[in-house]
């Protein structure tokens, strides 16, 4: 029997030293041969482990941020857009109008129109659509003025993004106008004070009105819950007293 010839016959060539090894941590290869580190983010989508991409929200706190993310998560993005449009436009025109025109009348008319549009939109459209609340003043047959509050059905909760952004706009812009009032007083800009005061009246009226409308809605919800627990007499008296006190206090505030 003849001796078998070696299969490899010493033909194995050494590795090319210029090729980087993927498992060598201390490798000193060129940066172009090094893969960027991959960070794995927990997600509820199976294909994200093999194709890393943007993290998807799995909880309320992990929801994507930014203006685009807010409008994507909003249930009524058009109403939310116009809520901020009128408010930003009014305060923006007030700040920058002095750089584009010297006409005080034109500047005043534009700002007042934007403020009026914002007041009407916030009270009749945005509040009803975004948070399910509305308020208005009504005069009865005896000539007595009182405030009426409407609220959504508690079984239909509002979108949390819409609610949060609505109340941010409701309470932040009065603070901004109050700051501009202080600036006008310090700069002795007496011609601009009436415009800022009018803006404060519109914004504060909406803020106070929706605050009381929200409280009235919570009180009526609590009254309906307590009446379901078997004490309708007490809850009815308490609900009437609370609602009457709120309506009288709001009426005196706005009168």
Average pLDDT over residues 182-198: 89
Better pLDDT: 240 or 197: 197
CA gap 92, 78 in Å, rounded:
20
Is 168 part of any domain? yes
The pLDDT tens digits of the residues spanning 96-113 come to 887 777 788 888 999 999
Is there a contact between 166 and 127 (Cβ–Cβ < 8 Å)? yes
In a domain, 150, yes or no: yes
Length of the chain in terms of residues written? 255
Q: What's the rounded mean pLDDT across residues 123-149? A: 87
Residues of the domain holding 141: 68-224
In a domain, 5, yes or no: no
Whether residue 31 lies inside any domain: the answer is no
Residue 129 is assigned to a structural domain of this protein: yes
Domain count, the chain: 1
**Vertex 130 angle, CA 127 and 132, to 5°:** 65
Position 234 pLDDT exceeds 60: no
Percent of the chain with pLDDT strictly greater than 70: 62
Q: Give pLDDT, residue 229.
A: 46
**Within-domain flag for 25:** no
3-state secondary structure the chain: CCCCCCCCCCCCCCCCCCCCCCCCCCCCCCHHHCCCCCCCCCCCCHHHCCCCCCCCCCCCCCCCCCHHHHHHHCCCHHHHHHHHHHHHHHHHHHHHHHHCCCCHHHHHHHHHHHHHHHHHHHHHHHHHHHHCEEEEEEECCCCCEEEEEEECCCCCCCCHHHHHHHHHHHHHHHHHHHHHHHHHHHCCCCCCHHHHHHHHHHHHHHHHHHHHHHHHHHHHHHHHHHHCCCCHHHHHHHHHHHHHHHHHHHHHHHC
**pLDDT at residue 224, as a whole number:** 66
**CA distance linking residue 246 with residue 182, whole number of Å:** 31
Q: Indicate whether 179 pLDDT > 70.
A: yes
For residue 92, is it within any domain?
A: yes
**To the nearest whole number, what is the mean pLDDT of the chain?**
74
Question: Averaged over 185-196, what is the pLDDT?
Answer: 88
Condensed to tens digits (0 to 9), the pLDDT of residues 19-62 reads: 444 444 444 454 445 555 544 344 443 444 444 433 334 444 44
Please check whether residue 248 lies inside any domain of the structure: no
């Amino acid at each position: 029997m003849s001796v078998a010839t070696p299969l490899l016959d010493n033909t194995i060539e050494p590795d090319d030293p210029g090729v980087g090894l993927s498992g060598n941590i201390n490798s000193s290869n060129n940066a172009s041969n090094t893969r960027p580190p991959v960070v794995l983010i927990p997600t509820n989508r199976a294909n994200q482990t093999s194709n890393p991409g943007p993290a998807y929200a799995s909880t309320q706190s992990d929801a994507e941020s930014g203006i685009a993310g807010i409008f994507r998560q909003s249930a009524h993005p058009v109403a939310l857009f116009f809520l901020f449009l009128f408010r930003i436009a009014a305060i923006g025109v007030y700040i920058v109008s002095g750089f584009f025109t010297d006409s005080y009348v034109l500047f005043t008319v534009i700002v007042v129109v934007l403020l009026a549009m914002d007041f009407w939109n916030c009270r009749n459209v945005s509040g009803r659509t975004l948070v399910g609340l509305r308020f208005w003043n009504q005069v009865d047959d005896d000539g007595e003025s009182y405030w009426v509050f409407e609220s959504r059905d508690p079984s239909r909760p509002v979108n949390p993004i819409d609610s949060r952004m609505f109340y941010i706009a409701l309470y932040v812009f009065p603070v901004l106008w109050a700051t501009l009032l202080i600036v006008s007083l310090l700069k002795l800009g007496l011609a601009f004070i009436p415009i800022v005061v009018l803006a404060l009246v519109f914004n504060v009226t909406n803020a106070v009105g929706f605050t009381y409308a929200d409280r009235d809605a919570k009180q009526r919800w609590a009254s309906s819950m307590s009446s379901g627990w078997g004490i309708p007499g007490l809850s009815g008296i308490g609900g009437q007293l609370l609602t009457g006190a709120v309506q009288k206090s709001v009426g005196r505030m706005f009168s």
